Amino acid sequence: MSISGKKILIAISGGIAAYKIHFLIRDFVKKGAEVQVIMTPDAEQFVTKLSISTLSKKPVYTDFYSDNGTWNSHVELALWADVMLVAPCTANTLSKMVHGMCDNLVIATYMSAKCPVFIAPAMDLDMYVHPSTRKNLEMAESFGHVVIPAESGELASGLIGQGRMAEPETISNTIENFFNSQQEAQTLRGKVVLITAGPTYEALDPVRFIGNHSSGKMGFSLAEEASKRGAKVILISGPTAQTINDKNVELHKITSAKEMLAKVFEFYDTIDIGIASAAVADYAPKEVAKEKIKKNDENLTLELVKNPDILKTMGEKKTHQFLVGFALETQNEEENAKGKLEKKNLDMIVLNSLRDEGAGFKNDTNKIKIFTRTEKKEFDLKSKDEVAKDILNFVESQLLK
């Protein structure tokens, strides 16, 4: 695979190594990539907008506003990119990135980026080995960014040592290898995955509802991981503070169980995998008051009626879909989970217990067991992002059978 068709956002900061970017842009464009360049104000001391835009075939932005007053949206720039490359990345720009010092277009765009970020540092050797620089590079890597190490050689100061920005060929190969490995990891490419997430809220009156403590974190982590594996994801979420910016994830927000049911079956016939991680309210008020219920009596009696069982309905209408359910239990966990697997015609079920510390609602971690009709697999306490990987790995193993 080449980088043809990929969208590469290059951010140039103010270092002498900026002259090398011309060769890199030319290489990317020659290989069919689409290149957009942004620059810090200091970068203009080393390269010109004219030379960069000539090679990239796009306008180059250095400020939030163009001369004609047009706003250069850092959000749109960030969401446009498949990868962002900061090269050269000076000590100053690196520090601003990891500490959130957002005072120019480059940093604002970086802080809005959801794509992988590559950093090619360039500075004098004493600056490169300084404890603050080493710490900042470690922080950048802890954010998940890829640091392309500086190389050794003659520096602008006349000194010889490590600090030279990696050569354009090295940077190009690093990014091309990333896209190649990403392609190899596209284990769900061509699949459509529907995921339900979060709670449902069942209205009592215009201001009150019956709900639960589900944060939606597990469902959103599953959506992000499925997208990374190449799937088209339909994410149907109840009320939650979770957000997602991923071009492969189609987010639909609902409030009640009935709304979730209707939305699920808008897509159900077209999906390959259904993962029902939402915590759907089992009951809803029989009648919803049109006005706010006043606190007049000592007691308030509510009549509740059963909500539609979304997962059971999905199981009943299953034709080709691989269906995954979730069970959150407080007692007889395994027995109840296996019973749900059978009753709702699921292919597998993910069990977590509120008795396990760190599992369940609101936590950033979860501890799960997975059951099929013939298998059981237990996992340690992990972050929900890692749990999402475990779940999808298991799904893929079942699809291969």
What tens digit of pLDDT does each residue of 152-197 get? 887 777 778 788 899 999 999 999 998 887 766 788 989 999 999 9
Residue with structure tokens 């400020």?
A: 63
Cα–Cα distance measured from residue 362 to residue 214, given in angstroms and rounded to the nearest whole number: 6
Residue 359 pLDDT greater than 80, yes or no:
no
Asked if 79 and 4 count as a contact pair (C-beta separation under 8 A), the reply is no
Within 10 A of 149 (CB to CB), how many other CB atoms are there?
14
- CA dihedral for 15, 27, 184, 187, sign (positive or negative): positive
Phi-psi category of residue 198: left, alpha or beta, with phi > 0 → left and psi -120 to 50 → alpha: left
Mean pLDDT, rounded, for 294-300: 80
Q: State residue 395's pLDDT score.
A: 96
Q: State residue 179's pLDDT score.
A: 87
Residue with structure tokens 């490359």?
A: 85
Reported as a pLDDT band with limits 50, 70 and 90, residue 356 is low
The answer to whether the peptide bond before residue 88 is cis (omega within 30 degrees of 0) is yes
pLDDT tens for 84-140 read 999 999 999 999 999 999 999 999 999 999 899 999 999 988 899 999 999 999 999
Q: Which domains, and CATH codes, for the chain?
A: 7-184 (3.40.50.1950), 192-399 (3.40.50.10300)
Q: 16-55: buried (b, 16+ CB within 10 Å) or exposed (e) per residue?
A: bbbebbbebbebbbeeebbbbbbbbebbbebbeeeebeeb
Cα–Cα distance measured from residue 346 to residue 370, given in angstroms and rounded to the nearest whole number: 12
Mean pLDDT, rounded, for 386-401: 92
Both tokens of 285, joined, read 């008020």
In three state form, how does the secondary structure of 219-283 look?
HHHHHHHHHHCCCEEEEEECCCCCCCCCCCEEEEECCCHHHHHHHHHHHHHHCCEEEECCECCCE
Asked if 278 and 238 count as a contact pair (C-beta separation under 8 A), the reply is yes
173 catalytic residue (yes or no): no
Total-model pTM:
0.62
Reported as a pLDDT band with limits 50, 70 and 90, residue 302 is confident
Cβ-based neighbours of 321, under 8 Å, separated by 6 or more: 268, 271, 272, 273, 274, 314
Residue 364 pLDDT greater than 80, yes or no:
no
Phi and psi dihedrals of 210, rounded to 5? -100, 130
Asked if 278 and 257 count as a contact pair (C-beta separation under 8 A), the reply is no
Reported as a pLDDT band with limits 50, 70 and 90, residue 320 is very high
Asked if 237 and 215 count as a contact pair (C-beta separation under 8 A), the reply is no
Asked if 149 and 165 count as a contact pair (C-beta separation under 8 A), the reply is no
Mean pLDDT, rounded, for 339-362: 82
| Of 385 and 314, more confident | 314
Q: What is the DSSP letter of 199?
A: B
Asked if 348 and 376 count as a contact pair (C-beta separation under 8 A), the reply is no
Pick from 214, 300, 307: which is nearest to 262 by CA?
307
pLDDT tens for 28-75 read 999 999 999 999 999 999 999 999 999 999 999 999 988 888 898 999
DSSP notation for 90-116: -HHHHHHHHHT---SHHHHHHHH--S-
The active-site residue out of 72, 212, 245, 345 is 212
Looking at the chain, the whole-number percentage of residues with pLDDT higher than 70 is: 97
Both tokens of 287, joined, read 């009648």
Cα–Cα distance measured from residue 62 to residue 65, given in angstroms and rounded to the nearest whole number: 8
Phi and psi dihedrals of 165, rounded to 5? -60, 140
Give the ranges where 101-167 is alpha helix by DSSP (H). Answer: 105-112, 125-128, 131-142
Average predicted confidence (pLDDT) for the chain: 92
| Cα angle for residues 218, 116, 103 (degrees, 5° grid) | 105
Asked if 22 and 95 count as a contact pair (C-beta separation under 8 A), the reply is no
